[in-house]
Amino acid sequence: MFTWLNAIVFIVGPVVAYFLGAIPFAYLIGKAKGVDIRQLSSRNVGATNLGRVLGARYFWYAFVLDCSKGLLPVLAISLTAWHNSLPIWAPLPTAVAGVVGHMFPIYLGFKGGKGVAIGLGVALGCWPIFTLAGVGAGLIFVLTLVIFRYISVASMVAAVAFSLFVYTISRSVNPAIQKAVANGQGIPLIVVAALFAVLIIWKHKANIDRLMAGREPKVGQRHATEPPTDQPS
């Protein structure tokens, strides 16, 4: 029977998450400073490009806001599901809707960011398997960034690591995890984690082209070594 609880978790949550996720904070911060980041550097409407154009401080502003817009709705649905004994995968529609909103925002003609910051937010909000995997992926991101100094590389490696962590944790011998993923409930988590990895890598296709051409800027560089040819993505 479809109840008000089902409506909140599976309809209201995802709708709110999409429209909140679609808010282009990096673009809005740039406009507030008098620049359109869709026309500068990599032309992406994400925190990384904002940081290249305006400086590291603005990267962190956008990153925290993007992470928060993913975390808050998913955490709210996770707590609702947890207290009402809903399946462990119940927050996933909200998580997916938030990431899709960021990547394909209705406010900017469906041309959005690459989903890394909001992906971290939704992972941290989806307790417990996504949360643990998100923390692990975050550590992998930092390590990869320190070694290679490419945010794009660190993002893609972390996305793959996240999906592998979700798979590994969901198969843990821990009794609490085994109980949570009983009767195949862990399968949707694994599928969505893999989907996130594929989407994030696909959104970095222009970065992959620049890496292969030696034009991808490292941390600390404000602009690519050649004019960008990719469109906002």
Interval 107-137: pLDDT, tens: 999 999 999 999 999 999 999 999 999 999 9
pLDDT at 222: 58
Mean of pLDDT over the chain: 92
pLDDT at 1: 67
pLDDT at 24: 98
Q: What is the CA radius of gyration of the chain?
A: 18
pLDDT band at 2 (very low <50, low <70, confident <90, very high): confident
* pLDDT, mean of residues 153-163: 98
- pLDDT (tens digit, 9 = 90+) per residue, 59-85? 999 999 999 999 999 999 999 999 999
pLDDT band at 21 (very low <50, low <70, confident <90, very high): very high
pLDDT of 95 higher than 60? yes
In percent, the amount of the chain with pLDDT more than 70 equals 94
pLDDT of 228 higher than 90? no
* pLDDT, mean of residues 140-162: 97
Report pTM.
Answer: 0.91
Of 22-36, 70-84, 172-186, 210-224, minimum mean pLDDT range: 210-224
Domain layout of the chain by residue ranges: 4-213
pLDDT at 189: 97
pLDDT at 176: 86
Dist CA 189 CA 187 (whole Å): 5
pLDDT at 30: 97
Per DSSP, the residues of the chain read: ---HHHHIIIIIHHHHHHHHHT--HHHHHHHHTT--GGGSTT---SHHHHHHHH-HHHHHHHHHHHHHHHHHHHHHHHHHHHHTT--TTTTHHHHHHHHHHHHS-GGGTT----SHHHHHHHHHHSTTHHHHHHHHHHHHHHHHHHHH--HHHHHHHHHHHHHHHHHHHHT---HHHHHHTGGGTTHHHHHHHHHHHHHHHHHTHHHHHHHHHT-PPPTT-SS-SS---PPP-
pLDDT at 185: 92
Per DSSP, the residues of 38-84 read: GGSTT---SHHHHHHHH-HHHHHHHHHHHHHHHHHHHHHHHHHHHHT
